[in-house]
Amino acid sequence: MSFLRRFARNRGAVLGLLILLVVLVLAAIGPTWYPQSPWRMVGRPALAPFMLDRFPLGTDMLGRDVASGLVHGARVSLLIGLASTVVALLIGVPLGAAAGYAGGLLDDALMRFTEFFQTIPSFALAIVIVAVLQPSLASIVAAIGVVSWPPVARLVRGEVLSLRTREYVQAAVTLGQTTPRIILTQVLPNAVAPIVVMGSLMVASAILLESSLSFLGLGDPNLMSWGYMVGAGRTRLLDAWWISFFPGLAIFLTVLALNLAGEGLNDALNPRLDRRGH
């Protein structure tokens, strides 16, 4: 309950959580409101918002329903954000834990490997990976995961370095527990809080990165996403602003909500870092 109280004290975090719940509901049950394919041409092209009840957000230049694309795109953007974050955690957490606990040459080697990835611009690397593997849901998730893991590894390494000298870890060593078991049962459970906070922020970054890839035409051609919708309307911003505005607003609100919720998680899981002095 103390966790919930600390989280609720952050009004921005509560607002972010509410926005996230709306987006999740939209992604979960929205397609039942718009069961038809979002690629289907259903009306007159470039129909402005609120002119017809059938198309509350208007239509794009090909006569596709913007509201339908927004609803179906929510599921795609959230799926890619969550899946790519899981991939990044699966890469970064083991590497960071091994480097921090082992130290010495292994630590140096793994950190140099991590720094090598950090020297490459993440967006450029993601473009190369998706272009080589061909744009698809799997290649986009893999690309975002590959460019997102280095910060995770460095965070986990720092946490493990501070935890490996604790009494309970030394007691486990004395009892003869194996290194993998110590890391999994003694070290990582006590490093969960910062990993969870970073994970929530990484989902936001992944959604932005996927939107940028789709904007450039490197999204999955079979899936409607918010980034694709923004890119599809970029040439008609003056006379058909709604085509890019509504998906762009959805991206902005979702990313903002994830960042606000991440800040609230940080305050709730690390009360000593509470910047509000409560």
Q: Which domains does the chain have, with CATH numbers?
A: 2-273 (1.10.3720.10)
| pLDDT of amino acid 271 | 56
| pLDDT of amino acid 67 | 92
| pLDDT of amino acid 272 | 57
Q: CA-to-CA distance for 179 and 161, rounded, in angstroms?
A: 14
Contacts of 81 (CB under 8 A, 6+ apart): 203, 204, 206, 207, 210
Mean pLDDT by 10 residues, the chain (278 residues): 80 92 90 89 89 88 92 91 95 93 90 91 93 92 94 93 86 85 86 88 91 89 89 86 93 92 83 49
pTM for the full predicted model: 0.86
Give alpha helix (H) positions in 175-275. Answer: 179-182, 192-215, 226-232, 242-269
| pLDDT of amino acid 1 | 60
Element (H, E) at 58: none
Give me 233's structure tokens. Answer: 């309307």
| pLDDT of amino acid 170 | 85
| pLDDT of amino acid 168 | 84
| pLDDT of amino acid 18 | 94
Q: CA-to-CA distance for 250 and 253, rounded, in angstroms?
A: 5
* Strand partners of residue 55: 52
| pLDDT of amino acid 275 | 47
Distances (CA, A) of 170 to 136, 180, 201: 47, 14, 33
| pLDDT of amino acid 91 | 95
| pLDDT of amino acid 278 | 44
